[in-house]
Amino acid sequence: MLVAGNWKMNKTPSEAVAFVKELIPLLAGAKSEVVVGAPFVALPGVVDALRGTNIKVAAQNMHYEAKGAYTGEVAADMLKDIGVEYVIIGHSERRQYFAETDVTVNKKVHAAVGAGLIPIVCVGESLEEREQGVTAEIVRRQAKIALIGVDRALLLSSKLVVAYEPIWAIGTGKTATNEQADEVCRIIRGLLVELYDADAAAKVDILYGGSVTAANAKELFAMPDVNGGLVGGASLKAADFKVIANA
């Protein structure tokens, strides 16, 4: 079970450090693996503050090239060098606002793995696609392309995470029903069985992301194929994140 907080474009470096220091005692006995996804400028301070604790650190994005003339971008090795362990890849906001594609997601997955980072690969459909009844096709396509060339050994070592985040439920206050979330996570699990096998598929944490809150986390996480959450707004509130991490 894994709970990852995605802070998005929130918290200055000093605010981020103060916040994780507040989280440390609250999450010391957390039942889940806990990850916090801080903005780039806050990562060094957050990593230092969390050193030796049970809370891991994620970047919210990265570039697929190792170096070069890519103004404003950050490479996987840069993240690894400062102690980051996870990286969120293909978040719907990156796809919607910054021209992320299934192909660039795949490139980033390979770059992350090559640097020793654990990718949290995001997939999910829009409201229009759900209403058209093509959720399964969209999610399977996104996940399948993201994993082209990814070795089975990576899954067996639990070094890959997939997050189902329906675009229509992110930041809207709308949440997929427990059954809807579990159904799509099961579709993703089934695809992993097809691409690899049941043993490899069972080692992958499949998270639900889409307005996860302290109020709904326990029931969501109780669903058979939901292995935790990618948490947005609620991860910015220490008390709420504590409840979710123990759900």
Q: Which residues are catalytic?
A: 91, 165
Identify which of 228, 238, 227 has the alpha carbon closest to the alpha carbon of residue 202.
Answer: 227
Identify which of 24, 17, 55, 54 has the alpha carbon closest to the alpha carbon of residue 39.
Answer: 17
- Phi/psi for 155 (5° steps) reads -70, -45
For strand 161-164 and strand 205-208, is the pairing parallel, antiparallel, or unpaired? parallel
CA distance 242 to 32: 10
Structure tokens that stand for 149 in this block:
């060339």
Task: Say which DSSP state 190 is in.
Answer: H
Task: Say which DSSP state 124 is in.
Answer: -
Structure tokens that stand for 162 in this block:
């997939």
Please report which helix (H) or strand (E) contains residue 118, including its range: strand 118-123
CA distance 32 to 36: 13
